[in-house]
Amino acid sequence: MFAELVSLTGTSKGEAVKTALGHEIARQKGNLPMRVRLARALSMARASGLFAPDDHKRETNEMWGED
């Protein structure tokens, strides 16, 4: 089965393993309950320092170098 994956992807064994593991991790994350995924997304959003309310226009103008 492993040799078949290497053959199909045309990659090295190491790359085939990395790709397969990446796909499995993504599949497992997709199987998490929606509430867990949303909680993680909310945590990431809070940690990223979202724009302050009513500040979007100023932030966008600054980003584009406009007044």
Residue 1 CA, chain-centre distance (Å), reads 28
pLDDT at 48: 81
What span, in angstroms and rounded, lies between the C-alpha atoms of 56 and 18? 40
What span, in angstroms and rounded, lies between the C-alpha atoms of 66 and 59? 10
pLDDT at 27: 92
- Over 90: is that where the pLDDT of 8 sits? no
Between residues 36 and 59, which one has the greater pLDDT? 36
State both tokens at 60.
Answer: 């966008």
What span, in angstroms and rounded, lies between the C-alpha atoms of 3 and 10? 10
pLDDT at 24: 94
Amino acid of residue 52: A
pLDDT in tens, 11-48: 898 998 899 899 999 999 889 999 998 999 889 888 88
